[in-house]
Amino acid sequence: SFYQGLVFLTENNVSDLGYDLTFSTEIEEFGVTEVRDLKPGGRNLSVNEDNKKDYVKLVCQMKMTGAIRQQLNAFMEGFYDIIPKRLISIFNEQELELLISGLPTIDIDDLKANTEYHKYQATSLQVQWFWRALRSFDQKDRAQFLQFVTGTSKVPLQGFAYLEGMNGYQKFQIHRDDRSTDRLPVAHTCFNQLDLPAYETYDKLKRMLLLAINECSEGFGLA
C-alpha cells in the first residue's frame, strides 16, 4: 500500500490526493508512533508538483534506513567491535558475502532443471549458448553470476527449486530481450530474472554475460 500510494503520487497531481501532504511521515518504533520530519521543518512544508519527486526520495530513505537508524547504528557498533572498520571497508557487499560464506558449489544441472523461459524455449539457440557459457565458468564466475541474478551467492539448501523471490519461491527465469543485441544482459534480482538479448554468436553472448556479472553487479533490483 505504501508503494501504491507513491506510484499514485508520481502519476497524478498532488491536488488529487484530497488531503494535505507535508515533508514528514509517521514512524512506529517499539510500539510508539511519532511524526518525523523528512527535512528540517518538514511538517510545515507542503508537497507540491515541483517538489514531490524530492518527497518520494526522502520518504523512501526514511522508511528503509532513517526509521531504523538507531538499530543500524547499534548493529554496526557491535560488528566493528568484532571486526574493525579499517579491515572490512576494503570489501564491497558481494566480496564480503563470499569472504564470510566461501565460494558456493553451484549445480548447473539443478539450476537448468528449475528454470522458466519467456519468449525463449529450452531449445532456443541463445539458451543453449547460455548454458554452455555458464558451464565454462569457474566457481568464482558462477558465484558472481548467482549474485548478479538473485542478489546473493547462497544456494538454497534444498536446491534451486526452492530459490526465493520477493513473493516466495520463485524459479530462475530467462526472458528474451528484443531491444538490441548491443545491450548487456539485465538482472531483476527481486524476481530471479535475467533479460537475455538474442545475441548473434556464442562468443558475443559469453563476453557480454561476463562483462555484466563482473562490472554491473552493484545496485538494487536492476543491474
**For residue range 28-41, what is the model confidence (pLDDT) as tens digits?**
877 788 899 999 99
CA 47 to chain centre: 29
CA angle 156, 157, 161 (to 5 degrees): 55
pLDDT for res 217: 56
pTM for the complete prediction?
0.61
pLDDT for res 222: 39
Angstrom distance (rounded) from CA 117 to CA 174: 5
190 is catalytic: yes
Quick check: 74 pLDDT over 90?
A: yes
Angstrom distance (rounded) from CA 176 to CA 195: 6
Choice among 190, 198, 210, 216 that is catalytic: 190
pLDDT for res 31: 79
Burial code (b: 16+ CB inside 10 Å, e: under 16) for 164-174 equals ebeeeebbbbb
**For residue range 153-176, what is the model confidence (pLDDT) as tens digits?**
888 878 999 999 888 899 999 999
Q: pLDDT-based confidence at 105, cuts 50/70/90?
A: confident
Quick check: 223 pLDDT over 50?
A: no
Angstrom distance (rounded) from CA 45 to CA 38: 10
